[in-house]
A and B are shown apart, each in its own frame.
Chain A
Amino acid sequence: MKKKWKVFSAAVAVSCIALIAGCSGDKEVSGGGGKESVSVVLKTLSSPYWKYVEAGAKAAGKELGVDVNVVGPNAESEVMQQINMIEDQLSQSPGALVVSPSQPDTVVPALEAANVPVLLIDTDADVKNKITFIGTENYEAGQEGGKLLASMLQKGDKVALISGALGNTATDERIKGAKEALKEAGMEIVAEQPADSDKTKAISVMENILQKHSDIKGVFSANDDMALGVLRAVEAKGLDVKVIGTDGTKEAVESILAGKLAGTIAQSPYDMGYEGVKNALEAIKGKKVEKRINSGVDIITKENAKEKLEFLESISK
């Protein structure tokens, strides 16, 4: 009696899995005969930013007639699961592989063993056989941020820079670019401090800066979270300081729309996904692809914040 139950329950469990797998498998794999296929392995699919990348990749697949398969672990911290996903995608022999590595070093052995074109997006890694890296040109993003801030201020105004964690190359480049643009426009940089890309930390860093320089007129922050933190510190003191962020998160765009944040330099995750698939197709066809592709930035201020918000909402559906 009992053993029958056991066999029965095991059978039910297995057939449930089969059913579930069968069903959800069908809708993803369209059986287009002779169609090219591109596999996209992201850091995760569980945050808005990566949903934008996914949306871009899928839109490219639809427009260009490519089978696009986007996968990613449950969290950016699931590094080994991402490696497993890369291996499992490769064993299905896609035409090309587009990857955004969670930990740049970890993907190197798996990707160098790949026998199809490999493209990296968002985060670069030292992979010998990569076709290209598509991502934000951080120095340029910083320059645009600096110019935007300068355009809102008078010559000789005092400004501060809030950087990311020490050694974070992405945020460091943004600060460098902003610094150059601000100096060129004749601004006086009175402070430059790291707040580790963290909102809470940025509040206290900004409070300390304001203790010393209460006449600051503008702040450039290397990411949006810190910019929002800076804003909190400024508002608490009742000061009028222009704050510019970088990234283009939904929260930042909403803040711009509400007239709080002065602007942000938005990265283009949607374009990274789109360009990733588009250039993967070029590589499959044997065409030449640029070694480094700039996915570009969008300058968001109150004038265009509403459109940006609508765009973000439309692609995150």
Chain B
Amino acid sequence: MSQVVIQTENEVTKKNRPLKKLLSKFGPLIGLVLLSSVLTLLSDKFLTVNNIMNIARQSTINALLAIGMLLPILTAGIDLSVGSVLAISVMFMGIVSVNLGMSPIVGILVCLLMGAGFGWLNGILLTKLRLPHPFISTLGTMNIARGIALIVTAAAPIAGFPYMIQFLGREFVGPIPVSFLLVIVVYVIFHIFLTRTQTGRYIYAIGGNPEAARLSGINVDRVLIIVYTISGLMAGLAGLVMVGRVNSAFPLAGLSYELDAIAAVIIGGASFLGGVGTVWGTLIGALIIAVLRNGLNLLNVSADFQMTVIGAVIIAAVYVDVLRQRKSKKS
């Protein structure tokens, strides 16, 4: 087979003509704009400040999980455990800061560390135990984390968190949810991390061609452990935001959220084959899912139907990815 090219964002854009470049870069954004236009026509409630802020708030949990998920996917991996890791993180935060009455700062630290810890474990299972694919290691930790989340309080929810813990998910600056501002900050940090740091560039390189990356002296294992740790950390952060929104932690929190996160990354233009995908594309992907759900809710489309539509959008988005792959192989 033809040799796989290590594509960083810059190289891709250099190769392409302006219009092509525009399309591949802004494809998801064009989709989002089209979708929003259609929904504006169909519902007079869609394009209101109140509703846009609803969308912003409803997108945040998935946006945080998705940006974490982008890293494993860039390395041609996957992290199925994020939803369960979210649950175990919030349950332990609840135990520490509500049941044991410790300082909210300790609670927040426990939440984030629990997330990062499980992420690190995913990285270790993948690189040190050499399990064949992260699908397997993270499938395992997905079940372990969910199981423990259910066991620790015998499946009982925990409510009544201190204000400091609720702040991120609950408060507004003017009309804008604090959680959405957090998303923007996190995405800017990820953008800088992925495009301006050595580790960031290594992540793209590993996804493009792990063997070449190894031969060129990159410590692949170290980078992979960082990737999964960050993914877990973002699950903890998403959990913190969720607790603020609903003022409670429950063991079934985040059930099947990994699938929405993967969908956001893929709709945002990342490739399952690794090496291709951007931070802003992922944000657009998360917003497309949130806008779809919100718009279909406003139009009173049943939940069953919403599943069908979102499924179709995922397939359409990946088909675009396939076309892109085919094109880049030819050139």
Contacts and interface: CB of A to CB of B under 8 A. Distances in A.
A21 B246 contact: no
A23 to B, nearest CB: 9
A140 to B, nearest CB: 26
Interface stretch (B110-118, B193-201, B303-311): B303-311
A10 B30 contact: yes
B135 interface: no
B301 A45 contact: no
A85 B297 contact: yes
A177 to B, nearest CB: 24
B180 interface: no
Nearest to A88: B297
Given A77-B252, A79-B253, A105-B159, A11 B42 contact: no
Given A91-B50, A106-B250, A83 B300 contact: no
A9 B295 contact: no
A104 to B, nearest CB: 8
A20 interface: yes
Contacts of B42: 18, 21-22, 25
B95 interface: no
B306 to A, nearest CB: 8
B19 A24 contact: no
Contacts of A77: 252, 255
A237 interface: no
A84 B293 contact: yes
B26 to A, nearest CB: 11
Interface residues of A, number: 50
A107 B318 CA distance: 35
Interface stretch (B31-39, B119-127, B181-189): B31-39
B10 interface: no
Given A45-B303, A83-B246, A167-B156, A3 B20 contact: yes
B312 A91 contact: no
Interface in A1-56: 2-3, 5-7, 9-11, 13-18, 20-22, 24-25, 28-29, 44-46
A314 interface: no
A167 B153 CA distance: 12
B48 A91 contact: yes
A6 B30 CA distance: 11
**Chain A binding surface, main DSSP class:** helix
Nearest to B310: A17
Contacts, number: 149
Contact of A6 (B34, B159, B294, B320): B320
Contact of B250 (A25, A74, A88, A103): A103
Contacts of B242: 80
A10 B296 contact: no
Interface string B244-267: 011110101101000000000000
Given A46-B304, A79-B246, A83-B246, A14 B51 contact: no
Nearest to A84: B58
A21 B312 contact: no
B7 interface: no
B60 to A, nearest CB: 11
B304 A88 contact: no
Contact of A109 (B30, B41, B247): B247
Contacts of A29: 300
B38 A17 contact: yes
B323 interface: yes
B45 A21 contact: no
B218 interface: no
A71 B302 contact: yes
A73 B312 CA distance: 19
A83 B323 contact: no
B301 A21 contact: yes
Nearest to A85: B297
Interface in B116-159: 156-157, 159
A3 B303 contact: no
15 contacts: A3-B19, A5-B323, A7-B23, A10-B320, A18-B41, A25-B301, A77-B255, A79-B250, A87-B58, A103-B157, A103-B246, A103-B250, A106-B248, A110-B246, A167-B156
Interface of B: 19-20, 23, 27, 30-31, 34-35, 38-39, 41-43, 45, 48, 50-51, 54, 57-58, 61, 156-157, 159-160, 170, 242, 245-248, 250, 252-253, 255, 292-305, 307, 309, 312-313, 316, 319-320, 323, 326-327
Of all A-B residue pairs in the complex, the 8 with the closest CB atoms, nearest first, are: A105-B159, A105-B248, A88-B297, A106-B246, A25-B299, A28-B300, A18-B38, A13-B316
